[in-house]
Structure 1
């Protein structure tokens, strides 16, 4: 093992990460962490063990698998067969989900060869090596792994998130950043699946998906959703069972067998799910139910064509042949995940066969399974590591993250490809960047006759953003709960207001519509409802403001 000799202020502890696979495009994730005298394999999502099995010597001292998605676990069983003495650690829920991938092997009804770790309980694997797992969101049982190596001088920490999300899903709570503060790992290895992309709130994503399915059903169409067997499919099923637009609705939800098998596994894990899910399951079945609408049923293998079933929503394995479901010339909406690299690729032959069918419409939806760029950078700033390694996702997305100035100025950033050894020297004089603190300015309010004056300290003008307000000198104030929020009006916004005033008074446009407020349309009958619209805009449901006497 190489040491970092001759580097100013660095310690010669062997600490590095060899990348067998970085999770780019279709490859899985497999990383070998060298920390002190130990070799720790983080995930084993390789399609072929290859280099890991070339030598008779075990490729690692221990293996830790983050969660039960194929690109993180697909080679675990083969690795165990090749090296049966190699310890493999997972969370308890992950140990129950993993057998899905080897269901054809009767010897794998349980995973006795996997050792389970409890949540939030540091376990000493060796006298100087400790491992702790914490919930990472994303999928039931998904874990972020915290590895601590102790020496006589100090302790070294490495945190690997696997796939993670800080948003609460239907069936799993998000990773708690608050509970991770104070860990201060030296090295943070995390995914960057969505790069710098920002997503709307999770509940809004769910609402938009339910509304799109509702519109399709109202138009007499079936809805076909190709999904992976574990994770996204169960999330959508729970949504359909509990969302107000579908509760009690006379509707059939059909589930392909590969997705249904995982639903059965989920039912066995109910005590491990969030309390709201457990409470829901006490009043009605979480999945299989033909008494309470919407009805949820298994899709018969012999009757896969949508034309052979009642109208409804069909969740099928994304790797299956979609053509078999669309042979009945029944009007159908096919909904694909908005990030198709995770599931169906846009150039997939299955799509080529169906995209030109006159009775089939193909659209995409967003139901993000990973944290977006904003939450990813938030996690990094709260943990404040010295080294950050980005894996999992398209290389272009990861490079966008790695090139962010707010990260490069504070941390040593790495975005390696497969076959690369990343050296991780730890500086003994490295100063952790302070968490950014908001600046508050204290002022005074004075009632002067019929007006109120706000006095603020002159220091506020040193902020470069001050000039945007000073250019106009105009502010707006509104109540937000019990707080009074004051904001400046920029020149661009002021010019926009003035342009509205110049619009002809007899023009039927948004500016004269009674539903136009705060530069948005609030007419529920309009397709633009809730969106920002230009004052000169027009739609068929325009209603003029009442003339004031």
Structure 2
């Protein structure tokens, strides 16, 4: 049991957090924090603010916005319109990016902008500071400090954050926050305990997949949010060695193009490496240097395009309008994190288009994974940790980690569930749901392996998605065998892929072809990624009894 020396608060009810939105599914984030007599709203990503509008007085004394993604700022302007006297604070970059949602001038006069790390005195006993959080240009972690005669109480809200450096924003610096020693940490848990490969590896895999699709003669369609992911991908396409100087058209939908213009205005506040890149060639728009990056004002623009091409569109757009059969076949790439937000009926898209349409997902993580989330917590060593922003199951996975449960008081509140944050001089084991483990049996009968698991698995809300088609995929992860349910979308996507005839001497029918690579040591393609239709002089049919073991 871990003991931490703190001075108990004179009023044990003086610190609390009331969530109006905790970011489950497509729900926005909005938190009301109480520190002594003060009430502060952190973010306002709600669908509407009817709950606030029922009262005549503002719901808080102050509001602070962490960054400009819709699930954190969606109702911020409505909050200002309902309560013009309520001060709203954010960073200068976030204020600039917020203007894209209001269709007004490039400055938000109703926001008060705050420089990085400067202390802003809200009241005699209350102040705050903003620290770069990564994730998106201008995104901030918010440190609130409440001073009493006994001591200062500190609460840190990360907003959305990432420790990894992106193309257009540097990651959150642990050095910046080390020594702050917050009593309370409100942290996002978008990916739960999931671990991801290095950011540069994710970028490499995405570029390789786009390159492969273009080599197959397929156009690539990328539905992305207005700000953030789309600009990251465009910067990658402009600078990655597989695309530099390539005779290729990259088309950008008008709304996303407007966001790119805002990024160009913010260039002096982007990382130094980006500023240096922009000195030699345009960050976004350029029709002279390949690859050509062009604005898409209407679909007629594509008539001028060189095919295959790449097209980035708003993720709320109707994708059908772009799948013109005269433009060839299409690969639609959707970010894994955005699947639940996109209303894409892939079967209908494929049936209504005479073009061959395939849909795949890719990982370009915009948040920190489980490993980096726990790393942040251990560096800050708060007494209370509140998890928000993520599916309930992912947040439950975090609150069930023994390495966290034994050291901190963990909370994963639902909407309207008040969390009272009592600070004491000793650690109190929080009441959390333990992780679920299921014991089963493994049977080998001839050439078939059967895994039998208890039916209590069905009670988990994740079961329906896992068992959607009744088909599973197994793969090794270190010494563990991981099972994954195959979705209907994946099956539909596979069904639209052209089938390679079994009697053709090509890589797909070769004994040495596995995971899209050649494993024949005497082949000139050994170790390389190869297309299924490829072939080489040492082709071995699948029926061959020689092969991998001998080589």
TM-score bracket relative to the smaller structure: 0.7 to 0.9
1:545, distance to aligned residue in structure 2 (A) = 8.7
Equivalent-residue separation in structure 1 for 2:526 and 2:38 (angstroms): 61
1:127, distance to aligned residue in structure 2 (A) = 1.6
Task: Name which of 401, 405, 418 aligns with 1:408.
Answer: 405
1:282, distance to aligned residue in structure 2 (A) = 0.3
Q: TM-score, normalised by structure 2?
A: 0.76
Secondary structure of the residue aligned to 2:39 is strand
Structure 2 match to 1:471: none
Equivalent-residue separation in structure 2 for 1:350 and 1:544 (angstroms): 44
Q: Are residues 328 and 522 of structure 1, via their aligned partners in 2, closer, same or farther at CA, if it must alter by over 3 Å?
A: closer
Structure 2 match to 1:82: 82
Structure 1 match to 2:421: 424
Give the superposed CA RMSD.
Answer: 2.8
1:353, distance to aligned residue in structure 2 (A) = 2.3
Query: How far does the alpha carbon of each residue in 1:400-442 deviate from its partner, in whole angstroms, 9 at most, with x for none?
Result: 11111111111111111111111110114559xxxxxxxxxxx
1:380 and 2:384 aligned: no
1:224 and 2:221 aligned: yes
Q: Give 1:500-539 correspondences, 5 Å limit.
A: 523-524=527-528
Q: TM-score, normalised by structure 1?
A: 0.76
Q: Are residues 80 and 10 of structure 1, via their aligned partners in 2, closer, same or farther at CA, if it must alter by over 3 Å?
A: closer
Structure 1 match to 2:432: none
Task: Name which of 257, 260, 269 aligns with 1:260.
Answer: 257
CA contact (8 A) 1:18 1:32 kept: yes
1:544, distance to aligned residue in structure 2 (A) = 9.8
Q: Give 1:313-324 correspondences, 5 Å limit.
A: 313-324=310-321
Task: Name which of 346, 351, 354 aligns with 1:351.
Answer: 346
Task: Name which of 202, 205, 228 aligns with 1:205.
Answer: 202
Q: Give 1:245-394 correspondences, 5 Å limit.
A: 245-303=242-300, 309-311=305-307, 312-328=309-325, 330-341=328-339, 343-344=341-342, 348-356=343-351, 359-394=356-391
Equivalent-residue separation in structure 2 for 1:155 and 1:349 (angstroms): 50
Structure 2 match to 1:62: 62
Structure 1 match to 2:495: none
Secondary structure of the residue aligned to 1:315 is strand
Secondary structure of the residue aligned to 1:296 is strand
Structure 1 match to 2:494: none
CA contact (8 A) 2:157 2:185 kept: yes
Secondary structure of the residue aligned to 1:293 is coil
Q: Name stretches of at least 5 consecutive residues in structure 1 with no aligned partner.
A: 1-7, 432-491, 493-507, 529-537
Q: Name stretches of at least 5 consecutive residues in structure 2 with no aligned partner.
A: 1-6, 429-478, 480-510, 514-518, 533-541
CA contact (8 A) 1:160 1:189 kept: yes
CA contact (8 A) 2:96 2:106 kept: no
Secondary structure of the residue aligned to 2:378 is helix
Equivalent-residue separation in structure 1 for 2:188 and 2:350 (angstroms): 32
Poorly superposed stretches of 4+, deviation over 6 Å:
538-546
Query: How far does the alpha carbon of each residue in 1:245-269 deviate from its partner, in whole angstroms, 9 at most, with x for none?
Result: 0000000000000100000000000
Structure 1 match to 2:11: 12
Secondary structure of the residue aligned to 1:31 is strand
1:307, distance to aligned residue in structure 2 (A) = 6.5
Secondary structure of the residue aligned to 2:209 is helix
Secondary structure of the residue aligned to 1:157 is strand
Greater C-alpha Rg:
1
Structure 1 match to 2:129: 132
1:93, distance to aligned residue in structure 2 (A) = 0.2
CA contact (8 A) 1:323 1:353 kept: no
Q: Are residues 190 and 205 of structure 1, via their aligned partners in 2, closer, same or farther at CA, if it must alter by over 3 Å?
A: same
CA contact (8 A) 1:224 1:333 kept: yes
1:328, distance to aligned residue in structure 2 (A) = 2.3
1:524, distance to aligned residue in structure 2 (A) = 2.2
Equivalent-residue separation in structure 1 for 2:113 and 2:547 (angstroms): 62
Q: Are residues 133 and 286 of structure 1, via their aligned partners in 2, closer, same or farther at CA, if it must alter by over 3 Å?
A: same
1:379, distance to aligned residue in structure 2 (A) = 0.3
Q: Are residues 355 and 383 of structure 1, via their aligned partners in 2, closer, same or farther at CA, if it must alter by over 3 Å?
A: farther
Equivalent-residue separation in structure 2 for 1:94 and 1:524 (angstroms): 44
Aligned length: 445
Q: Give 1:103-252 correspondences, 5 Å limit.
A: 103=103, 106=104, 109-252=106-249
Q: Are residues 9 and 269 of structure 1, via their aligned partners in 2, closer, same or farther at CA, if it must alter by over 3 Å?
A: closer
1:310, distance to aligned residue in structure 2 (A) = 2.3
Equivalent-residue separation in structure 2 for 1:137 and 1:90 (angstroms): 15
Secondary structure of the residue aligned to 2:276 is helix
Equivalent-residue separation in structure 2 for 1:253 and 1:349 (angstroms): 22
Equivalent-residue separation in structure 2 for 1:341 and 1:514 (angstroms): 37
Secondary structure of the residue aligned to 2:202 is helix
Secondary structure of the residue aligned to 1:303 is helix
Query: How far does the alpha carbon of each residue in 1:280-326 deviate from its partner, in whole angstroms, 9 at most, with x for none?
Result: 0000000000010000000131427x676322100000000000000
Equivalent-residue separation in structure 1 for 2:278 and 2:340 (angstroms): 30
Task: Name which of 396, 399, 403 aligns with 2:393.
Answer: 396
Structure 2 match to 1:459: none
